[in-house]
Amino acid sequence: GVRDTDPPTLFDKIISGEIPAAIVKQDDKMMAFKDINPAGPAHVLIIPKDRNGLTRLGKASVEHKEILGHLMVTAAEISNDKSLGFGDGARIVVNDGPDGGQEVMHLHVHVIGGRAMQWPPG
């Protein structure tokens, strides 16, 4: 976004195609691709193409409602896609900031499945 002054991340290079990724779904607003280090038999990351200040979920405000809803509906669609290795349900996670274990500062939704998850996570 034009007001997004935070440093770029490697996800910008995935969006531009500079770094290859196994893209499973995309449109003008979001991209979904396989995680390079999957935490289960199926692991997809969903990101907004325009970060627009959303380095992390904790930066969200009312202006982000539409994209956040779009990311979550996409997470539902992906979690139902048996061809990607998902079973009945998934762990759908947003890691937010240092205490949340976030490493890439470009908001992303993890959709992890294909095995039964435990709660709480580590």
State the catalytic residues: 108
C-alpha distance from residue 104 to each of 9, 16, 85, 107, 115 (Å): 7, 16, 24, 8, 25
Least gap, CB of 21 to ligand 5GP (angstroms): 5
Least gap, CB of 63 to ligand 5GP (angstroms): 23
CB 113 within 8 A of CB 41: yes
Binding residues for ligand 5GP, rule: CB under 6 A, are 10, 19, 21, 33-37, 45, 95, 101-104
**Nearer of residues 62 and 95 to ligand 5GP, judged by Cβ:** 95
Please report, as a single letter, which amino acid is at residue 89: G
Least gap, CB of 91 to ligand 5GP (angstroms): 12
**Nearer of residues 32 and 67 to ligand 5GP, judged by Cβ:** 32
| Residues 6 or more apart in contact with residue 80 via CB below 8 angstroms | 86
**Nearer of residues 44 and 67 to ligand 5GP, judged by Cβ:** 44
CB 42 within 8 A of CB 8: no
Q: How far apart are CA 93 and CA 103, in angstroms?
A: 14
